Structure 1
Amino acid sequence: MHDHSSSEKSKQMPPRSSRRLPIGAEVDAGGVSFRLWAPARERCFLVIGGNSEYEMNAEDDGYFCLNLPGLSEGTRYQFHFGDTDDLLADPASRFQPEGLSGPSAVVDPARYQWNDHDWQGIQAFGAVVLRCISAPSRGRVPLRQPGKSWLNCGRLASPAWR
């Protein structure tokens, strides 16, 4: 499946001012527009339905885009970068019907049928808000409590920050 010499090439996508979001899959009048940010990669491929592969067009600043006519809501898709056989979900996916490691599915928010009309929200009294700042602070966050000056957040911090 990953023989790039036979990969289908798509026409260059024209600049799109109609995108609502900078990345992800968006349904438009003629099909679906895909956009991914992968600045460390030179090539990116979109795989539709597990078998049709398209090389995405490189843009400035590490973005890749592709507009495929004829696709619609529910289309399953994944990405790969040509250097491994790993198929990856869209990090901006709105729906992962088979879980995080499965294919993403295109969602059209204009057609989504909301089913929470009776939800009243939550009361502010008694609610807890947790704020965790991810910064290279060596796992210590200053506290404003008498007698305590640092909170150890080492378990919350990514290993890259330690």
Structure 2
Amino acid sequence: MSRRTFWIWGAAAVAVVLVVGLVWWVRAGSGSGERLTPAGREIRKAGVSVVVPEAWPKNALQCGTPVADTYVLDPGKVPTCALSPEPKVSYVALRESDLSADPANSAATTAGQIGGVDVRTTEGSLPDGRTRWLAVVPDRDIVVEVVSADPALVETISGSVQID
């Protein structure tokens, strides 16, 4: 290999590494992601983040229904099937939503702000006795849903929600 060919291939390799690094850096600041923190696993979507227990697996779903304590983030295509009875597990769902068609949008009626961003929230009990807290971030089409039989866990997780 000539010296010139060596430099051309070297420059091409450096360019590829720079482009991949730039794309990774840009995408890290937006969209979905997760990272470990001292408080637990922080999950994020569109600048909205929430901290969940580190031990929880991602997307422990069957027919789109959580079947173990889990966090739901970008689950991909969900098969159309029914799971009955619904397992009484704890979960956090952080999702983009078409708010015009999402029941969470009409359920969340208490206006507030998180990080200076307008949100609507609600908290209540599901028919099976679990506590559910919802936050809708209209400007970002994001819904945060926290469900657990342990109201203290719901309070801790809902209190960790941040919006950049």
Query: Whose helix proportion is higher, 1 or 2?
Result: 2
Report the TM range for the smaller structure's normalisation. under 0.3
Query: What TM-score do you get using the length of structure 1 for normalisation?
Result: 0.22
